[in-house]
Amino acid sequence: MGRRRAGLTLVELLVAMSIFLVLGGALVMFLRIGMQTWRHGEIQREAFERSQAILDQIADDLASAFTDTSHGMSGVVEVTFLSDYDDRGKQRLLFVRSLAGEMRHRITREAGTLTGGIAEYDFHNDAIERDKGQLRAPGGLSEIAYLMDPRAGSELLWRGLRAPIGGEGTLFDRDNVYNLEPRPDDPLPVRHCRAFAEGVLHIEYNFWGGGTRTWELTAEDESALQSWDSTKGMLSDFPGYRAGSRHEPRDDVFPSRVQIVLSLRPAQALRFARLRRAIDGNEREIAVDTTMYYPDGAFQYILIDDEWLRFDSKSDNVFQIAEDGRGVRGTAPASHAAGATVLFGHTFSRVVRVPGARTSGWVGK
């Protein structure tokens, strides 16, 4: 009787290989899901850290806003709180704040120690002007400006600062802010400003006025305001505007709270969706190749070319746009070609209280 040979039959090998393939496939799938989750978390972390750095600075400026127009020795101080729109429909914010750390900062501490100063503390040659004794004393207050870069397609946010406040060079005069004819020796598109943040797809400021009951902008009579004029005499289309009111500080008004909404471009490594077919300015069903990573929650916005759209819901390959969701955030409905990139921004918001607010009984009157 012959001995049985040790080993595996062909059937046993096939069964073993099938089990290994199934287990290997499951392992690869779990690793892929894990990598996607880790990558999504890293993208969220990076966006959170960037947003907090930006919001912290804006919130610090707003929390230090100065609203006492009768503070000066002459009885009147040019204290203004203003938010309007530039030529591209981008919101800008300008106000006066107390100058933090004036005596701790060498430049502001030594400014005004010599008579005859003609220069301002404004991010431009400040150290040189200090050494030459040309800086004027800041006076404890500074003008602050936040504005988007005026160049088309730019995602750069600028922060402006100027002290002392008021006078011919004030930032509240647009001609003193925008550099309409940049030169090789003065190439920046704005003056008295520093580049503050890149990758800003959208920033908006909403204001709690006398009649405000909700931050929801769809509630017409009770919603927050999207512009502000503390003098009631600079923006003719502003609620409560009165001709000649600009130089009457006794009736100046300031918001009690400001909501900042900030949308940042995600990390460049993220794959954005593309339109599967062309759409016109009225279409509300937007077909794309993927909706992975696109936001759920309070800020459901997408950006196609120069148009912002707000969607109600999304499936794997379709965004359902809200009834009034075309051309939002100050943009206009437009047609878009097939293959156009569909962007989104990581959106964050913060509400900041403004000291010394005076709003009651004036809005809409």
- Write the pLDDT tens digit of every residue in 264-306: 998 766 778 999 999 999 999 999 998 888 888 778 999 999 9
Question: Looking at the predicted structure, is the pLDDT value of residue 361 above 60?
Answer: no
Compare 362 and 294 and report the one with higher pLDDT: 294
Residue 354: its pLDDT value, please?
Answer: 93
Residue 364: its pLDDT value, please?
Answer: 42
Residue 184: its pLDDT value, please?
Answer: 84
* Long-range CB pairs of 288-296, under 8 A, 24+ apart, other chains included: 288/317, 288/318, 288/319, 288/342, 289/317, 290/316, 290/317, 291/315, 291/316, 291/317, 291/318, 291/319, 293/40, 293/43, 293/266, 293/344, 294/319, 294/344, 295/344, 295/346, 295/347
pLDDT in tens, 113-168: 666 667 777 777 767 767 677 777 778 888 999 999 999 889 999 999 988 888 88
Residue 223: its pLDDT value, please?
Answer: 85
130-134, 185-189, 221-225, 230-234: range with lowest mean pLDDT: 130-134
Element housing 277 (H / E)? none
Give CA–CA dist 161/149, Å, rounded.
Answer: 16
Give CA–CA dist 269/82, Å, rounded.
Answer: 38
End-to-end CA, the chain: 113
Question: Looking at the predicted structure, is the pLDDT value of residue 353 above 70?
Answer: yes
Question: Looking at the predicted structure, is the pLDDT value of residue 365 above 50?
Answer: no
307 forms beta bridges with 304
- Beta-strand relationship, 341-343 and 301-304: antiparallel
Residue 113: its pLDDT value, please?
Answer: 65
Under the banding of pLDDT at 50, 70 and 90, the label for residue 102 is low
42-51, 155-164, 258-267: range with lowest mean pLDDT: 42-51
Question: Looking at the predicted structure, is the pLDDT value of residue 72 above 70?
Answer: no
Under the banding of pLDDT at 50, 70 and 90, the label for residue 106 is low
Compare 249 and 73 and report the one with higher pLDDT: 249
Question: Looking at the predicted structure, is the pLDDT value of residue 180 above 60?
Answer: yes
Give CA–CA dist 272/50, Å, rounded.
Answer: 20
20-29, 37-46, 252-261, 263-272: range with lowest mean pLDDT: 37-46
The token pair at 74 is: 């002459």
Question: Looking at the predicted structure, is the pLDDT value of residue 74 above 60?
Answer: no
Residue 40: its pLDDT value, please?
Answer: 67
Q: How many Å is the Cα radius of gyration of the chain?
A: 28
Under the banding of pLDDT at 50, 70 and 90, the label for residue 204 is very high
Which range of 55-64, 128-137, 207-216, 265-274 scores highest in mean pLDDT? It is 55-64
Residue 73: its pLDDT value, please?
Answer: 47
What mean pLDDT, rounded, does the chain reach? 84
Compare 155 and 221 and report the one with higher pLDDT: 155
Domain boundaries, the chain: 61-99+139-264, 273-344
pLDDT in tens, 11-29: 777 888 888 888 888 888 8
Stretch 303-316: mean pLDDT, rounded?
93
